[in-house]
Amino acid sequence: MSDFVEIDTKQVDQMLATLSDPKIISDVINEGLEAMGNVYYQNIISSLRKEMGASADTTSGKWLYALSSGIKTHPDNAKNIFGVHALSDFRLRFFEGGTKPRYTKGHKITGYATNKKTGKVNFNRLARSGKGGYRGIIDANHFFSDGVAAAEQNAIQALTQSVYNALKNRGIDIQP
């Protein structure tokens, strides 16, 4: 699973090659990347909501924040980077990649564990009795990779359209 998307930006590079001011080029690229990142962000959020239903936006029990709040955007205008980080909340990793079957050990704590060879009590380990239980498995939903794949064409279109609009707003007329 990759957290990054590679796109071919030859059209955008050809448009920007006609400009000479590096500040304008940087500003135009940042606006385009922000538009593209917002398309990815919206599509990943909708993919999460489609997979998880209402539980993506609700808080329950000891969790003070919703799962959807773990999807964040990271603009960095100095490096011309705009990233969408969908796995910043550790709980989202379980739903994206799934889990192995989970089991518990015993359920009843009966004291401290003793070393079988020496017979000494180890006060750092608890002794449990009873049968452990199967606690299930979380199947992989792949909401992040599905959301990125579904938004790829729309993101490229948003990038080029945003670059055209940014150039047009600065009084530079370049035909698509």
pLDDT in tens, 16-58: 666 677 777 778 888 888 888 889 889 888 888 888 888 888 8
Of 2-11, 31-40, 45-54, 130-139, the least confident: 2-11
Model pTM?
Answer: 0.69
User: Is residue 84 packed enough to be buried (19+ CB in 10 Å), middle (13-18) or exposed (0-12)?
Assistant: buried
| 3-class secondary structure, 58 | coil
| 3-class secondary structure, 156 | helix
